[in-house]
A and B are shown apart, each in its own frame.
Chain A
């Protein structure tokens, strides 16, 4: 079967004690419009919540948002827990206001890649770029599967 976003499931949510819901809704809309099946677990989600949802829905990727600045602390051990739960190879994506203060983006990105994330996005990234990267990373053909966004 050819791979299209329509047969790819992604788990989306906001990690930790973080109430930033607007970006979460926009990202969910962008992914659904591109044809992905989205299991949106919303705000205040723990690493375990993401992993449980990914197992139950046989997800192809987990998209983690962290906007409160505590990303580095909250994201630690995520890949290890996925491995422990039997989904060690899943595509892990993170983005948002991952750290506080003026830090070099390259350093921030490197630290999150070292944690086991496959893609790390800076603040203000376009949802379109996230969607395009995801299609490529999950080997989706780009022409099919898209739904009308109305």
Chain B
């Protein structure tokens, strides 16, 4: 038996998967509350104690982990034009698994700088200008940052012509800097991978310690990535396959958590209908969006605020007359698990509403324009209508008997024909909560990881 132990220090729960790599089987799963405020090891030990003794006392061939504890990876991004380099920087940070807490564009004002200092992000991503393009703004922003109280590492990913000077300005004033390739080397040209890789490097080398997670490395080999990156990497592995395992092709993963709802899509998302023209910044092949305000525990209240009572109740079977009180209580006691039929129904309605909103925001849209020769269609974002596979992951997909139905609620609808959501995909749920573990294994054991992921997906249609 060659056992791998995969751990996720989540915002609410610390989860452990024990996987037998030789038999390609999940052998045990356990979870306990994350205890980052006191000592991260307490929650981990509690979860380990829940594993069967035979597993717990085994020798593991690898112990890898991801983390979204202590607020996840909070990033601020800065670019020049909101729709261009600032958007490219935001996408790079999202793809690196970050929670983007603010995006700034143009020259930073003193008010913005004060706000940025108060936000105390974990990493700052500084972009602006195409290669050979505008360098004044990124230089001026670097000067302002150099004189600021900002203490976090700064990843520089803007105009290459200005990069050295930006780096000098910041590093001479004592800031920690890392230079990488421009996130937008040319107008409407996206290059997010180098910045993503650099952010991950900073995460491993600096952020883990800064967040009080270093202690966990006494037990695990390393906290390799933020949790969303692990899920995105599993999605990529499932979609693209390996040398010997055929991938599933284009797919979407919806990850419903207690605090956020993430959507990951793998695919180009080009128009599937004739006569449609794409506009705007190109989409990354592996795209992640995160709705920080849509989570079925911490942010249960916000789901009501954002989606409205009507949508929630439309997704429910019960009438939930005390909806507001219930949601307030859920967001206060985030570890609550549903007990009654009514609780399960409310969880379903919240998850479906969050997933619907998150999918609407992730999928591309069609805009209709009228010209002298008639109607034209312009696509913004990815066309996901022909996506073949839709996968749900997150606690609710393990326990809920109607889990597949949650995903069905996110599909294309004739009432909103210009929202390019998946039309008729095969629907699966991550019924054993193993996608994060697959993402962690993907680099070292891609073949096994790919087969295990496929084996444990539960198909609903």
Contacts and interface: CB of A to CB of B under 8 A. Distances in A.
Residue of A9, A19, A58, A68 most packed against chain B (CB within 10 A): A58
B-side binding surface: helix, strand, loop or mixed? loop
Interface in B70-107: 80-81, 83-85
8 contacts: A17-B372, A19-B371, A45-B279, A56-B80, A57-B130, A57-B133, A57-B186, A68-B373
A56 B371 contact: no
Interface residues of A, number: 24
Nearest to A85: B81
Contacts of B376: 17, 19, 44
Nearest to B79: A56
Given A17-B376, A53-B187, A9 B371 contact: no
A44 B81 CA distance: 19
Bin chain B's interface residue count.
20 to 34
B135 A58 contact: yes
Interface of B: 80-81, 83-85, 128-130, 132-135, 184, 186-188, 277, 279, 369-373, 376, 378
Nearest to B367: A44
A57 B187 contact: yes
Interface stretch (A24-32, A35-43, A102-110, A136-144): A35-43
Nearest to B135: A58
Nearest to A21: B277
Interface string A58-73: 1100000000111000
Given A44-B277, A44-B378, A56-B84, A39 B371 contact: no
Interface of A: 9, 11, 16-19, 37, 39, 41-45, 49, 52-53, 55-59, 68-70
Contact of B370 (A17, A42, A44): A17
A19 to B, nearest CB: 6
B372 A9 contact: no
Given A56-B80, A56-B85, 7 more contacts: A44-B376, A52-B83, A55-B80, A55-B134, A56-B133, A57-B132, A69-B372
Given A41-B188, A56-B81, A18 B371 contact: yes
Residue of A18, A53, A68, A69 most packed against chain B (CB within 10 A): A53
